[in-house]
Amino acid sequence: MEKLFERSIRDASKLMNLTEDDHDLFQRVDRACDELLIPEFEKYMERKYNDKVPEVLKKHHLMGIPISKKYGGDGARPLVHSLAIERFGQLGLGVVTFVDVHQSLGSLTIQEWGTEEQKQRYLTKAATGEIVLAYALTEPEAGSDPGSLKTQFRKDGSDYYLTGSKYLISNGSVADRLIVFAYPEGQTKGMTAFLVDAREKGFAVDMKLEEKMGLFTSDTAMLSFDDLRVPRDDIIGEEGRGLAVAYSALLNGRIGIASGCLGVMEDCLNQVKERTSSRMQHGKAIGKHQLIQRHIARISSNLESSRWLVYQAALKKEDYENNKADLGLRSEADRISAVAKYVASKAAFDSADSAVQCFGGFGYSILSPVAKHLIDTRVARIYEGTDEVMELKIASTVLGKEFEAYR
């Protein structure tokens, strides 16, 4: 029987022409996922960051999937990148978080906003995995409202010095370079994005945040900067354009998380199919009981209703990339990526819950793969924009800018 990922590739080929390079990429992603399956579960059991992810991705030349070929990546178009992340999603959101942060929030932001010199210097290394990237916007007092962040910078000649702290940063303690957002000293306007070197004096990992309810295999850290030097050449985008940089990164990131959620639902469906065909109760396979079939129908419907939406978001993003002067296309891509992330993350969590129910008591054991999805997937409704922030954003696109409730 055709595997769910093969079906996704077949469906995507009806939406765009897939090249031989794309098919080669999908095979490499598939092989990497097969290799990561057991280590990912072992690390989850140990409650440890899965350091095999960058290792295996490097081995299969997968660190730079969306990075242009000019800088050593695969140059994958948005829908192809989305499909690759969908496949990683079958392993769970721990793997997806690493990939999405390094590629969508990190590499694509440098690709979109960086100077040619920055692209030559950093994207080439991000594509080979020589450097790992992170994105540091959130602070202890600035989450849904990034405008209230407290990290500040001062200028001295051609250098900038950052002071402040960042909270809940994925890849935070393993990244070599981090996109950090800060205001000019004493001001609450003019946010600027800096590409910080984690080896620079004044950079500290204050704490690895390991007391999470799930997502153990993803690295999360609290960071601080004490008069940390950043040369002017490492500003991403122009000085003062930080908020625009942050939001454009989130547009890419949300499509990535939504794509990963599709993979989670696919794995839930695969796991439930196997379990409900083999587990016998009341004299027959539990899959033959109609109320169990309801759960299966629910997971399948969740997956189908999210799938096309996520693909549409990727295609809308490509429309915008092909015509960057058209701001209408940008806001449409932004809107659909928010809808896709909102719908797919809720659908994935609901599917993991249904899968746990089908597994019964074993589903409640941390040894079951579906329990891992349940606790890992919850975060998708929080990071890169909470459910509520997505709702406000979507509603304001219906009502009009003057109704923006979170400004």
Ligand X SMILES: Cc1cc2nc3c(=O)[nH]c(=O)nc-3n(C[C@H](O)[C@H](O)[C@H](O)COP(=O)(O)OP(=O)(O)OC[C@H]3O[C@@H](n4cnc5c(N)ncnc54)[C@H](O)[C@@H]3O)c2cc1C
In the complex, least distance from residue 64 CB atom to ligand X, rounded to whole angstroms: 19
Taking a C-beta distance cutoff of 8 angstroms, is the pair 339, 394 a contact? yes
Catalytic annotation, pick one of 239, 384, 388, 404: 384
Residues numbered 353-392 forming contacts with ligand X, rule: CB under 6 A? 379, 382-384, 386, 388-389, 392
- Using the rule CB under 6 A, is 293 a contact of ligand X? no
233 with 118: CB under 8 angstroms?
yes
* Side chain identity at residue 148, one-letter code: S
**d(Cα 260, Cα 256) in Å, to the nearest integer?**
6
Extract the tokens encoding 192.
């600027």
Contacting residue, 71, 113, 122, 135, with ligand X by CB under 6 A? 135
Give 220 or 271: the residue with its C-beta nearer to ligand X. Answer: 220
Q: Which of 170, 217, 252, 259 binds ligand X (CB under 6 A)?
A: 170
The nearer residue to ligand X, 75 or 94, going by C-beta atoms, is: 94
Cα separation, 330 vs 114, in Å, equals 19
For residue 406, the minimal CB distance to ligand X (Å) is: 4
384 is catalytic: yes
d(CA 169, CA 175): 10
Q: Is 169 in the site for ligand X (CB under 6 A)?
A: yes
Instruction: Give the residue nearest to ligand X (CB).
Output: 143
Among 123, 131, 215, 375, binds ligand X (CB under 6 A): 215
Output b/e per residue, 279-318; b: 16+ Cβ within 10 A: eeeeeeebbeeeebeebbebbbebbeebbebbbbbbbbbb
For residues 259 and 83, is the Cβ–Cβ distance under 8 A? yes
Q: Which stretch binds ligand X (CB under 6 A): 79-87, 131-139, 280-288, 300-308?
A: 131-139
Q: Is 252 an interacting residue with respect to ligand X (CB under 6 A)? A: no
Taking the C-alpha atoms of residue 139 and residue 145, their distance in angstroms, rounded to an integer, is 10
Which H or E element spans position 255? Answer: helix 242-278
Q: Out of 32, 101, 315, 355, point to the residue binding ligand X (CB under 6 A).
A: 101
List active site positions.
384
Contacting positions for ligand X (CB under 6 A) = 101, 135-138, 143-144, 168-170, 212, 215, 220, 379, 382-384, 386, 388-389, 392, 406
